[in-house]
């Protein structure tokens, strides 16, 4: 992506953020605690959320120093949720390496997560007095909602027939709210008014849901060569996905029985059988359309933001990049 | 305690705080998450930390509305640490009832703790702009230190010969820093200067260590009738205490061998044998003196605070109450 009117591309912002983020965020002692806290941060990622915060700022004005602090807090918060989620999910791997609790033990991982959250607030406390109350208020709201989403996700594991609206709500809380809030936090610091803030929030929220639908889609129907992993991971893990919920809703009685039966099995052969049911119910087409629906709503909100449309190019390109993603 | 010059006694402040704190601090849904978050808060306690915050304010000026918010944040933070510590320690009981993770499961307890911390920051965000940066800075520092103390405590469980200075440091971080910080946070809001803030902090820090020494002493030598429980709980749990560390230092080689041997046993009969070693090494007298040493330093710092001495009465009486405590 080219530079537009002094605006930065996602890639440029990602590099700018990484440059600042790539440092130790914790004291040296106690060694175990702070090594565990730093551990996951050192693995380079796309840093989507903090970059969205920077983009939310730059949509309205030049990026402030304060915005880097908030972006850092967001990335720390995101990693805190990963550390605690991995404990709850008993996950062995994250970003291709051992999870924090596997490497350092559950107690230290729990405590390391706590400290990461506190240090996120340390970064928030660096911003100027003018913005501190508004930024903290939104950040706290997002933080609570992400926890609520995780609880709903755990609640859903225990029941078979999850209501579709409840599922969308859960996905919204667990993943989209942080994307949406990152954009809005940046927008606040960029001086956006309330109306524009709401539109950028809704842009992020709907984009996040579209992204999750695509994620579910790719796990089932993605090209293994491009996708880089075998399809059907969610199916093997009996994960509730957009696809499964829809299939349980629209499949014939016989297929529904078969699906419920397959959910109880551990054999890899179930992947093909579930995929066959999905295909015979046109779940792939349905998912593409649902994703497009949320994506269109996202773009509509982006369109409503009252700034010169040329300033929106980086966000449009980010949205397209996330949606066309097939790797 | 009588009212002095409009100042409130500990009891009065405890009642005033309880009145405000005794409400639901969380939304209704998701039910499991927020019931787990509210659960421990509903058990009435002495609320020592938030009351110390109120006292820290009132030492210098009339209690501000902001101070109640900070006191609430402190109590929420304290309970958050209890919930997470109980998960790490696999403790079944707290305040006479099932621990949060026993009642709601580990994952929900972990998440409930996280939310309690976030809601603590919501209360902090209610205070006026004038104080927000200073209050957040100190609060964040305390929060990190409490986590550091917990990590040190877990590290110490794995080694037999813990250095005495390291142990005092751990106790300071794990328990005293929150008492000290609660007083200082109140003092900040009461308009105290930096010198006075430091003295009230050191008063709380040393009082906290004296209190811990007394706690260890009472567990070993307390009158079971007054103490309300059988002595030797720490000994049975092989807990590192001031008493054990000192005994391991000063006992004869034979006694040290016996102590290390007893640490490996699970039999209740070990209590009497450990207590006999303690007594023959005069650990009880040593502990009394050590407690007195920290208590004197605490009072010295209280004495140094530049306000009329009559304003210090409530804190003096609180200190004496905590130290003479034999129930």
ipTM of the complex: 0.95
Place of tokens 């915005």: A67
Confidence of residue A231 (pLDDT cuts 50, 70, 90): confident
Q: Does the pTM exceed 0.90?
A: yes
Q: How high is the pLDDT of residue B222?
A: 87
CB contacts of A140 in chain B (<8 Å) are: 118-119, 121-122, 125
Angle at A166 (CA atoms; ends A161, A170), nearest 5 degrees: 115
Among A33, A110, A152, select the one facing B30 at the smallest CB separation: A152
Average the pLDDT over A208-222 and give the result.
93
Q: Does A263 touch chain B (CB under 8 A)?
A: no
Find out whether B205 and B184 touch, Cβ atoms under 8 Å: no
How near does any CA of chain B get to the CA of A138, in Å?
10
Please count the other Cβ atoms lying within 10 Å of the Cβ belonging to residue A177.
23
B147 neighbourhood in chain A, CB within 8 Å: 33, 111, 114-115, 118
For chain B, the C-alpha Rg in angstroms (whole number) is 20
User: How far is Cα A99 from Cα B138, in angstroms, rounded to an integer?
Assistant: 31
**B238 vs chain A: nearest CA distance in angstroms?**
19
Instruction: Look at the block and give the residue holding tokens 């709601």.
Output: B104
* Domains with residue ranges and CATH for chain A: 1-136 (1.10.600.10), 193-327 (1.10.600.10)
- For residue A152, the Cα-to-chain-centroid distance in whole angstroms is 16
Measured at the CA of B144, the angle between CA A54 and CA B43, to 5 degrees, comes to: 110
Cis amide linkage into residue A246, ω under 30° from 0: no
CB-CB contact of A46 with A21 (8 Å): no
**pLDDT tens, position by position, A7-53:** 999 999 999 999 999 999 999 999 999 999 999 999 988 899 999 99
Q: How confident is the model at residue A106 (pLDDT cuts 50, 70, 90)?
A: very high
Rounded Cα distance between B140 and A118, Å, is 6
Instruction: From residue B160, give the alpha-carbon distance in Å to each of A103, A268, B244.
Output: 24, 49, 10
Q: Across all residues in chain A, what is the average pLDDT?
A: 93
The number of C-alpha atoms within 13 Å of A237 and in the hemisphere containing its C-beta is 14
Please state, in angstroms and rounded to a whole number, the distance separating the CA atoms of residues B81 and B26.
17
Q: How far apart are CA B67 and CA B50, in angstroms?
A: 9
How many beta carbons lie within 10 A of that of residue B130, not counting itself?
11
B216 burial type by CB count under 10 A (0-12 exposed, 13-18 middle, 19+ buried): buried
Measured distance CA(B74)–CA(B146) in Å, rounded: 12
Cα separation of B242 and B287, whole Å?
8
Tell me whether the omega of the peptide bond preceding residue A30 falls within 30 degrees of 0, making it cis: yes
pLDDT at B5: 64
Predicted pLDDT at B116: 98
- Give the count of beta carbons closer than 10 Å to the beta carbon of residue A31: 11
Sort strands A97-98 and B93-94 into parallel, antiparallel or unpaired: unpaired
Residue of B88, B127, B144 to mutate, interface with A, max A Cβ within 10 Å? B144
| pLDDT for res B4 | 53
CA nearest A125 in B: which residue? Answer: B133
Which backbone phi and psi does A137 adopt, to 5 degrees? -60, -50
A280 touches chain B (CB under 8 A): no
Q: How far apart are CA B197 and CA B181, in angstroms?
A: 10
Q: Which residues of A touch B148 (CB under 8 A)?
A: 29-30, 33
Q: Provide the 10 A C-beta neighbour count for residue A260.
A: 12
A106 by Cβ neighbours in 10 Å (0-12 / 13-18 / 19+) ranks as middle
- The token pair at B268 is 């209740």
Q: What is the mean pLDDT of residues A291-310?
A: 97
Peptide bond into B30 cis (omega under 30): yes
Contacts of A64 (CB under 8 A, 6+ apart): A57, A189, A190
pLDDT at B2: 43
Q: Which of A143-157, A187-201, A259-273 has the lowest mean pLDDT?
A: A259-273
Shortest distance, CA A114 to any CA of chain B (angstroms)? 7
Residue-level pLDDT at A228: 64
Which neighbouring-strand residues pair with A4? Answer: A7
Residue B325: predicted pLDDT: 59
Phi, psi of B192 (to 5 degrees): -65, 145
B94: phi then psi, degrees, rounded to nearest 5: -150, 130
- Output the pLDDT for position B106: 97
Q: What is the mean pLDDT of residues A61-73?
A: 98
**Terminal Cα distance for chain A, rounded:** 18
pLDDT given for residue A2 in this prediction: 43
In angstroms, rounded to a whole number, what is the distance separating the alpha carbons of residues B238 and B160? 11
Say what the pLDDT of residue B327 is: 36
Instruction: Show pLDDT as tens, one digit a residue, over chain B (327 residues).
Output: 445 567 999 999 999 999 999 999 999 999 999 999 999 999 988 899 999 999 999 999 999 999 999 999 999 999 999 999 999 999 999 988 999 999 999 999 999 999 999 999 999 999 999 999 999 999 999 999 999 999 999 999 888 789 999 999 999 999 999 999 999 999 999 999 999 999 999 999 999 999 999 999 999 998 877 766 678 888 988 888 999 999 999 999 999 999 999 988 888 899 999 999 999 999 999 999 999 999 999 999 999 999 999 999 999 999 998 887 543
Pair of tokens at residue A297: 């709503």
Q: Which residue has the tokens 């602090």?
A: A69
Q: How does strand A97-98 pair with strand B97-98?
A: unpaired
Length of chain A: 327
Mean pLDDT of A103-119: 98
Tell me the two tokens of residue B226.
Answer: 């007054």
Q: What is the rounded distance in angstroms from the CA atom of residue A88 to the CA atom of residue B261?
A: 38
Mean pLDDT of A273-299: 96
B165 contacts chain A (CB < 8 A): no
Residue numbers in B near A165 (CB within 8 A): none
Q: Region A86-109: what's the mean pLDDT?
A: 95
């Amino acid at each position: 992506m080219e530079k537009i009117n002094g605006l930065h591309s996602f890639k440029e912002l990602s590099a700018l953020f990484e440059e600042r983020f790539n440092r130790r965020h914790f004291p040296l002692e106690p060694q175990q605690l702070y090594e565990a806290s730093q551990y996951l941060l050192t693995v380079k990622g796309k840093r989507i959320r903090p970059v969205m915060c920077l983009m939310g700022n730059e949509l309205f004005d030049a990026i402030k120093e304060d915005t880097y602090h908030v972006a850092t807090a967001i990335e720390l918060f995101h990693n805190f949720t990963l550390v605690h989620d991995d404990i709850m999910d008993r996950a062995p791997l994250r970003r291709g390496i051992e999870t924090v609790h596997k490497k350092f033990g559950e107690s230290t991982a729990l405590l390391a997560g706590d400290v990461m959250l506190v240090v996120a607030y340390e970064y928030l406390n660096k911003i100027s007095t003018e913005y501190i109350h508004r930024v903290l208020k939104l950040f706290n709201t997002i933080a609570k909602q992400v926890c609520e989403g995780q609880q709903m996700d755990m609640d859903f594991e225990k029941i078979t027939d999850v209501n579709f609206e409840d599922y969308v709500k859960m996905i919204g809380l667990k993943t989209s709210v942080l994307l949406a809030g990152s954009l809005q936090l940046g927008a606040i610091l960029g001086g956006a008014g309330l109306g524009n803030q709401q539109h950028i929030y809704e842009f992020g929220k709907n984009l996040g849901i579209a992204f999750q639908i695509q994620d579910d889609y790719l796990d089932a129907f993605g090209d293994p060569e491009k996708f880089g992993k075998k399809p059907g991971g969610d199916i093997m893990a009996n994960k509730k996905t957009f696809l499964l919920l829809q299939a349980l809703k629209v499949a014939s009685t016989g297929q529904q029985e078969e699906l419920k039966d397959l959910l109880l099995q551990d054999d890899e052969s179930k992947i093909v059988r579930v995929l066959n049911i999905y295909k015979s119910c046109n779940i792939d087409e349905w998912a593409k359309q649902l994703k497009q629906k949320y994506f269109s709503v996202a773009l509509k909100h982006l369109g409503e933001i009252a700034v010169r449309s040329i300033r929106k190019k980086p966000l449009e390109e980010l949205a397209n990049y996330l949606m066309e993603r097939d790797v």
